[in-house]
Amino acid sequence: MTQMEFLPFTRPEVDEETIASVADVLRSGWLTTGPRCRELEAALSQRAGGRPVRLVNSATAALEFALRIAGIGAGDEVITTAMSWVATANVILEVGAKPVFVDIDPATRLIDPALIEAAITPRTRAIIPVDLAGLPVDRDRIYAIAEKYRLRVIEDAAQSQGANWRGKELGTFGDLIIFSFHPNKNMTTGEGGCLVMNSDDEARLFEKLRLQGVTRFADGTYDCDVLGGKANLTDIAAAIGLGQLKRLDAFNQKRRQLARLYFEHLSAPELGLPLADFKQSNWHMFQILLPKSLATQRSTFLKLMAEAGIGTGVHYPAIHTTSLYRQHGWREGMLAHTESVAARTVTIPLFPRMNDVDVIRVCNAIRQSLLQLTA
């Protein structure tokens, strides 16, 4: 990056070898789910300690199918956080269940385990914790609660691939774990995601759910015994993923280095900085919090940053304050910490192709934008 270029808040990095592998797939004549998907599933399974891993065309589909595998449906309740992409809650509605939002811990910006038990009712069947920005939720506390109340845990690890909890990589332990391969994630397949499961039986059901509930037979016929969808990944996408997976650890290491630089150069005391976890987080995003006095001026701050050539994002508006969830009885004022963070959060650039000069440039733009807002 040069100082004259517009710096987006994220950008995928795809090398020439990966581009060539996509061309090979295109020349092969086999574009949809095939040998490259099986190769990527095997590589992901190896990384997950041999657990079954299956691909789909989005992490949203993986979340929905995880709920179906867990038997979650009409009349059930699922505890989660409103500090996430809206898909985390939408899939709960999609299977006919009810999302129950729990407030966040303002220090981590993740679901507060101390508040979960109070939200459990006889209808609670599962918990969906979310690793916002790549920072892992406290697995020990989540799984202790799940064991006590006999709940399934569906880890929304969409943003935390390659992160770890107490030295154990996410996906190598736990119940059901989803990862996302959207273009803004630490590794991408263009679009896509996967689910890490516990058994071959769960994997077989997942395979049916992602392709119309169909089981094919050697004689060319098939049976359909469950209601499935159309969510299979293509070999084109898997070819990208194979190249990305080889570089995931290097990508994550570079993100950690850049995050350290942000802490060194973001000296504005009025800003809320994320938890400085350099042992467990994969630093998917770096998110600052504007001062509470400037929360209503966030759009102006984003505009000033854009004028300085710096891309930013808002991740995320609080789910429970959106129109759909207001229809389900949620209102502002119900989750104070979530609402405060959601109103002030700004995602600043962080991706492997950045360098030290880019980080300093972003920090300078932040300081100048704040000065303009407070002048």
Starting at the edge strand found earlier in the chain, the sheet holding 77-80 runs 53-56, 193-196, 176-180, 152-156, 124-128, 77-80, 98-101
Which residues of the chain register pLDDT less than 70?
1-4
Which amino acid, one-letter code, is at 254?
K
Query: CA 179 to CA 245: how far, in whole Å?
Result: 12
- The enclosing H or E element of 345 equals strand 345-348
pLDDT at 4: 65
Give buried/exposed letters for 158-167 (b at 16+ CB in 10 A, else e): bbbbbbbbee
DSSP string computed for 167-232:
TEETTSSSSEEEEE--TTSSS--SS-EEEE-S-HHHHHHHHHHTBTTEEE-TTS-EEE-S---B-P
Question: Is domain 16-241 classified as CATH 3.40.640.10?
Answer: yes
- Choosing from 98, 148, 168, 185, the catalytic residue is 185
- Angle ∠(5,278,145) on CA atoms, nearest 5: 120
pLDDT tens-place string over residues 146-173: 999 999 999 999 999 999 999 999 999 9
pLDDT, tens digit (0-9, with 9 covering 90-100), for 288-297: 999 999 999 9
In contact, 237 and 231? CB cutoff 8 Å: no
- Residue 346 CB burial class (10 angstroms; 0-12, 13-18, ≥19): buried
Structure tokens at 370: 């704040």
CB of 356 closer than 8 Å to CB of 254: no
Question: Can you give the pLDDT at residue 270?
Answer: 81
pLDDT of residue 2: 45
Handedness of CA 170, 59, 342, 118 (dihedral sign): negative
CATH 3.40.640.10 residue window(s) in the chain? 16-241
| Sequence ranges of the chain with CATH classification 3.90.1150.10 | 249-374
Residue 267, pLDDT score? 75
Question: 84 near 156, Cβ under 8 Å?
Answer: yes
What is the reported pLDDT for 269? Answer: 72
CATH number of 249-374: 3.90.1150.10
185 catalytic per annotation: yes
Per-residue pLDDT at 375? 81
DSSP for 116-151 reads HHHH--TTEEEEE-B-GGGPPP-HHHHHHHHHHHT-
